[in-house]
Amino acid sequence: MNLYHKLNNKVIPVNKEKGITTFDAIRKLKRELGGGKIGHAGSLDPIATGLILILTGIATKLSGYLMDLPKVYISDIKLGEATDTQDASGEVIERGDWEKISTGDIEGVLPRFTGKRMQMPPMYSALKHGGKPLYKLARKGKKVDRKAREVHTESIELLSADLPLFRIRVKCSRGLYLRTLSEEIGRSLGVPSHMTGLTRVSVGHFDIEEAISSGEFDRLKDKEDPGINPAEALRHLKQVVMSGPQAADLLNGRAPTVPVDTEVSVGELVRFLRPDGSLGGIGEIGPGRIARIRRVLIYE
């Protein structure tokens, strides 16, 4: 089996190196693959390292279902200096005295940032304003009004501190800006601050431990079965195993019935598995345990 067939239709957990964009990593993998569809389930800033999910072939259809998975980050923060980009890549725009801050103070304010709250996205972000990414405007020195977005942070934990530097672990939903959080934590302590390093260690059930470094894609050819197949990639969703005729019906747009022993609630997403164990589609549970088809996967 050639590398294309080994890597196509897979979710490939990649440990992105520092200094390259998510798209650089995708381009490098695409070269190994030699063609086909490729995408990702959530990008990571160039200065950050850690887990990104690269999707190939039919797995590109799963992007929306992987994007919303909770993520865990390890973030390094420096007290005493704020920068225009909120991270170490920017210019220092404010300095302040951090000496009076203790690790206890930090632990004291962290709970304020957990749970649901509104966060103002930074000017240096890929969010669009009138069709243009904000960071392009920011580089020209412009500032525009932005809407605060709801973010959900499950937990924040202080891992270590060697003040003015400290390190936190954050578990959060899609949309939280860690750079902005770094500045917010300082502000709540009354000190300017910025993020000096960021590593994404997990996305849902995907862990950085199983990821291949973006600098070592040439090692993929030595692996028996690299990456994760679509059915396994959605293992956070309950499964509905289809019979042969049900799998044929799904291709014609008819959803399988959800077995009575599968506990589901309205609005929940389920994955439809075909008799060979592959992912046939994704459904959403409606009233009366009837699944509505959200997506059908057509294998070539």
Instruction: Name the residue nearer to other proteins (CB basis): 91 or 261.
Output: 261
Cis, bond preceding 287 (omega within 30 deg of 0): no
Residues that bind other proteins (CB under 8 A): 243-245, 247-248, 251, 274-278, 280, 298-299
- Coil, strand or helix: which one is 228? strand
Instruction: Name the residue nearer to other proteins (CB basis): 204 or 281.
Output: 281
- Coil, strand or helix: which one is 60? helix
Give the DSSP per-residue string, 62-98.
GHHHHHTS-EEEEEEEEESEEETTSBTTS-EEEE---
Nearest to 151 by CA among 106, 189, 181: 181
Residue 248 CB, nearest approach to other proteins (Å): 5
Residue 295 CB, nearest approach to other proteins (Å): 15
* Cα distance between residue 222 and residue 82, in whole Å: 45
Instruction: Name the residue nearer to other proteins (CB basis): 156 or 228.
Output: 228
Instruction: Name the residue nearer to other proteins (CB basis): 122 or 283.
Output: 283
| Residue 125 DSSP symbol | S
Please identify which residue in the block is written with the tokens 């030699």: 34
Check: CB of residue 72 under 8 Å from CB of residue 176. no
Residue 69 CB, nearest approach to other proteins (Å): 25
Residue 224 CB, nearest approach to other proteins (Å): 19
Radius of gyration of the chain (CA): 22
Instruction: Exactly one of 24, 45, 76, 276 is catalytic; name it.
Output: 45
* Residues contacting residue 248 through CB under 8 Å, at least 6 positions apart: none
Check: CB of residue 31 under 8 Å from CB of residue 7. no
* Cα distance between residue 231 and residue 36, in whole Å: 20
Active site residue 87: no
Instruction: Name the residue nearer to other proteins (CB basis): 199 or 246.
Output: 246
Catalytically active residues are: 45
